[in-house]
Every structure is written in C-alpha cells, then in structure tokens.
Amino acid sequence: MAVVRNNKRNKEIINWFRQNAVSEQSELHYTNPFELLVAVILSAQCTDKRVNMVTPALLAAYPNAKAMSKAAVGEIFGYIKSVSYPNSKAEHLLQMSRMLVSDFGGTVPSSIEELMRLPGVGRKTANVVASICYNEPVIAVDTHVFRVAHRLGLSKGKTPFEVEQDLEKQIPPKDRARAHHWLILHGRYVCKANKPDCAECGLHKLCPKLLQGSKLSKK
C-alpha cells in the first residue's frame, strides 16, 4: 500500500473541498436506484452527457428490472447504440435485470458484495450506487478520481482499489459519499487530463504538482 506523505497538507485539501465544493451530486439523470444503476453501467468509457441523452427513451420502455428482463438484447441495443460498447452493455443490462428479478426481487441491493454479483457491475459501479442511493461510506474511483488523487498527493496507489483505500483512510465516513463528487467534478472541469486549469484552481497553493513517484506526475 502506498504511504501518503503529507498528512497536514492532505487534511487541508480535504477541508478545502468540504468548504468550497460547488456540487455534490452526480451529473447522471436518475430518479431511483435502478435508473442510476443502468446509467452508471452505460457511463463506462462514455460521457454523462451522452448517457443522459440515451436513458430517457430506454427507461421509458423499461422502467424497472422486471420490464427490462423481458426485453431482447437487440431491443435494448436499439436504445443505446450511440454509447460506447453498446453490444456488451446491452447484454449486461439484460443479464443484470434478470438477476435483479431472480435473486433480489427486482430491487437493487445496497451492499457492495451483492451489487458486484450483477453482470456489468464492477467495484466502481457498485460504490457509486451504494454511496449515492444508500449513503454507504465508500468512494468510487474512476479515471478522474484516480488522476486527481495522484496529482493532489492524496494517493500513490497503482490501482483504483489502492487509491480507494488511501482516500478512505483520510476522508471520514460521513464525507465519503460526497467526496466522490468533489474529486470527479474537480477532475472533469478543473484538473483535466491534458490541460489542467491550474490558474483557476483553488487548490493551486496546496497542490504538489510534481509529487515524486506519482504515476501522473509528468502530466
């Protein structure tokens, strides 16, 4: 496990987010756990904007797990063909819905372990649903969170799971559900992959931009 070096600075960074975060909500559109689960599965390597264009018609046709479980994979594909990897995602949505019906009575489970049993659901997706819908004290690590955690020196973990563990050691349980939004939105709009907007970043003075040993220190 990577050792986080500057505990005082990291506490200041987390406190800055606590005081200054503009939004603490997902940019995916949903009204219940099933809709969020569908949206997060579709969002893998795809923008939230594109997913939000696809889900209204998809969820109007299949508003719950029971309805989607009766669809043909080709029918689901027709609704989601503009997202990335539509063939595999259509299959995942169908099999996920069938398992929700057969194993969970059509209800999206709240535990990480049960969520990860569902087809198409990895740890990141499970953490997103568990934290947003059920306020579980976990942090989902996607590419934005991974990048920002490295650049800010909050983690030097080599895998998303290691970064998740580092973040959870530093962020109190009561803040973890919203901390995912702090980091992902900061990465999406400020600490961008290719052209980070350092001049407009409120963390400019706290950011160890070239932290020695960071996988992303050269970016």
Distance, in Å, from the CA atom of 157 to the CA atom of 214, rounded to the nearest integer, reads 9
Which residue out of 142, 175, 192, 215 is catalytically annotated? 142
- Whether 124 sits among the annotated catalytic residues: the reply is yes
* pLDDT for the residue 206: 86
Residue 4's pLDDT is what? 43
**pLDDT of the residue at 216:** 45
Q: What domains, with CATH codes, occur in the chain?
A: 7-24+138-200 (1.10.1670.10), 33-134 (1.10.340.30)
Query: Do 105 and 65 touch, CB atoms closer than 8 A?
Result: no
Q: Considering the candidates 89, 103, 124, 175, report the single residue annotated as catalytic.
A: 124
Task: Give yes or no for residue 178 having a pLDDT over 80.
Answer: yes
pLDDT digits (tens, 9 = 90+) for 2-43: 434 568 889 999 999 999 987 778 899 999 999 999 999 999
Beta carbons of 79 and 89 less than 8 angstroms apart: no
* 115-120: long-range contacts, CB 8 A cutoff, minimum separation 24: 118/37, 119/91, 119/92, 119/95, 120/41, 120/88, 120/89, 120/92, 120/93, 120/95, 120/96
**Angstrom distance (rounded) from CA 205 to CA 61:** 50
Percent of the chain with pLDDT over 70: 92
pLDDT score at 214: 47
Q: What is the pLDDT of residues 150-177, one digit of tens each?
A: 999 999 999 999 999 999 999 999 999 8
